[in-house]
Structure formats: C-alpha cells, structure tokens
Amino acid sequence: MSADQQHLDRSKLQKTILQWLKKRLDSETYQLLTSASENLKHDAEDWEVFSSFSRVSRYTGKDLIDLTPKETEEAASVRTGWAPGHWSTDQLARTLLLLGLAEREKKEFLDKLDKLFVSSDLGEGVALYQSLPLLPYPEDLTDRAAEGIRTNITSIFNAVSLRNPYPADFFDDDAWNQMILKSLFVGSPIYLIQGVDDRANEPLAHMLVEYAHERWSARREVSPELWRSVGPFIDDDSVNDIKKELDHKDSDHRHAAILTLRSSSSHTAKELLNGYDSLKKEVESKEISWDDIGRNVHGSG
C-alpha cells in the first residue's frame, strides 16, 4: 500500500467533497444527498443502498464539476494523484455515498460494494471505478479493478486506467502490463496513465515491441506513445525498430524515437541517437516531452 493511501484522511476527503458539492447544488438537493450519505453510514438496508446510489443523477445532474485551481490543489493534497477535474457532479456525489458506506465494518462494506458493482449500469460503473483510489481496503479491490481493464466497454476501462492513481499503486506487473497494452489496442492515451514511467518493466517492453511487429506485419501504424515504456530496456534488436521510427514521415513518431533513445543506457542506442543530431537538438530546443506527444496524438484529454 502506498503511504498516501495508508494515511488517507477520509473524514477530510468527505468534507472536501461536501464543500465542492455545496457550491454546485441547490440547497434541497444538497440536503437530500447529505441525508443519504449519513443514512448509509449506519443501518441502511441493501435496497436503500442501491436506491440511493442509482437515483443520484436525477437530482444532481451530470454537468462537469469544473474544479477551480484551488480545488484541484485540494484534491491532490487529500490524495496524491487524485485528479477529479473531469468528473461529473453525479460521479462526485456517488463517491460521497460510497465514503459513507465505507464507515461500515469491513466485511459489510466490501459485500455491499461488490453488489453495487454487479448491479451497476454504465454510469454507475464509471463512478465506482473512478472512486477506487479513495476507498478503504484497496488491496481487496485489485481483482475488481483488474476486471475493469478486461472489459470491452471503453468508458469503464478508461475509468480504471486514465487519471487514476489506483493501478500504479496496487496493480502487479501482469495487470499493469495488460492495461498498457490494451490502452494501445483500444486507442486510449498513455500520457493520461499515472505512473507510466515508474512502472515500466522489461517484460512490458518486449510485449510492446512484439505488438509493434504485429501491427507492422499487418501494414498498420503503431502509436508513437508505444515506445514510452520501451526506452529503458532497448536491446540490439529493438534499436532497429527505433531506427524505423526515426525515419517516419510524422514528426510525433520521430520525436518519440528520440525520447526513447535518450532514456536508454544502451551503447548502440546512444550511437544511433548521435547520428540524428539535428533531430535531437529539435526535441531539446522545443522541450518536447512524452506528454506533448500524447496530446498531439489524442488531444488535451
């Protein structure tokens, strides 16, 4: 468990969410929501839990919460990596209800949470997966999170993988590598995955190179973001793959190749990098980063 998750002050977290919601909801809706949250903390029966959770959007609406810069800082101070700026009002409200439910005994909470996942519709499912880094007993939720990255529903997959600190903190390498590879397969932006550089590993690098070969064999392109997790593990074989990207007609691919080579300690990679001095200077002078390449490929997100 990350130190941040271990010492997460959920009382402060609830107060923070309540402050944000109070500014965005009318007084009647706010009172309904706070009453429902209090009810879930104690002895609400299953039908009340499911009903409260499912009805939220009828009252709150689904507008983006559009956090202020100060609120964005508050989010990060409560839970490192928490980035709810893209959340909607109903998603934030549902997280508040989950935090109320989380005050039950562990077994009861996990049982009701599991039932919510099973019975959820698409909108509710997104809210549930987004809330994972804020919930107690995160080590008990890894199987559920892994199920979210195996789904064929892109919005659920993205709720787990993008802007979410949970995978970097709690996924093992197998689940992490599956998530990165699937992100490329479904076209989700790698640059919005938290911890992507820290969690790079050699088996993943080999998987990504093999995936690139498969795409090329089918005469299809690979995303320049693919190479982000490859650089530290370049070998003599993969250097030839990077050479192919250096000569690509698209500048994002060429810039990605330079960043890949720069992150390698391989002598062969350094020799190749020195052979593209003008391109290397272009990347350096423009201070091009992996995030810049990701935004060029996918948009600002």
* Whether 37 and 156 share a structural domain: yes
Q: Which domain holds residue 301?
A: 172-301
pLDDT digits (tens, 9 = 90+) for 20-63: 999 999 999 999 999 999 989 887 788 888 999 999 999 999 99
Query: Region 68-87: what's the mean pLDDT?
Result: 96
* Whether 253 and 216 share a structural domain: yes
Rounded Cα distance between 157 and 252, Å, is 25
Q: Of 171, 191, 223, at which residue does a domain stop?
A: 171
* Whether 249 and 204 share a structural domain: yes
Q: What is the pLDDT of residue 300?
A: 74
* Whether 148 and 5 share a structural domain: yes
Number of domains in the chain: 2
Is residue 276 predicted with pLDDT exceeding 90? yes
Q: What is the pTM of this model?
A: 0.94
Is residue 131 predicted with pLDDT exceeding 90? yes
* Whether 263 and 154 share a structural domain: no
* Whether 166 and 293 share a structural domain: no
* Whether 206 and 105 share a structural domain: no
Q: Specify whether the CB–CB gap between 167 and 161 falls below 8 A.
A: yes
pLDDT band, very low/low/confident/very high, at 299 (cuts 50, 70, 90): confident
Is residue 2 predicted with pLDDT exceeding 70? no
Q: Of 171, 189, 224, at which residue does a domain stop?
A: 171
Beta bridge partners of 64: 88
Rounded Cα distance between 138 and 191, Å, is 24
* Whether 63 and 117 share a structural domain: yes
Tracing tokens 């392109």 back to the chain, one arrives at 221
Q: Of 104, 137, 171, at which residue does a domain stop?
A: 171
What share of the chain has pLDDT > 70, as a percent?
97
256 HSE (CA, 13 A, CB side): 29
* Whether 34 and 119 share a structural domain: yes
Distant-in-sequence contacts of 236-239, Cβ < 8 A, 24+ apart: 236/266, 236/268, 237/209, 238/205, 238/209, 239/266, 239/268, 239/269, 239/272
pLDDT digits (tens, 9 = 90+) for 143-176: 999 999 999 999 999 999 999 999 999 999 999 9
Q: What is the pLDDT of residue 259?
A: 98
Q: What is the pLDDT of residue 45?
A: 85
* Whether 123 and 200 share a structural domain: no
* Whether 150 and 86 share a structural domain: yes
* Whether 117 and 222 share a structural domain: no
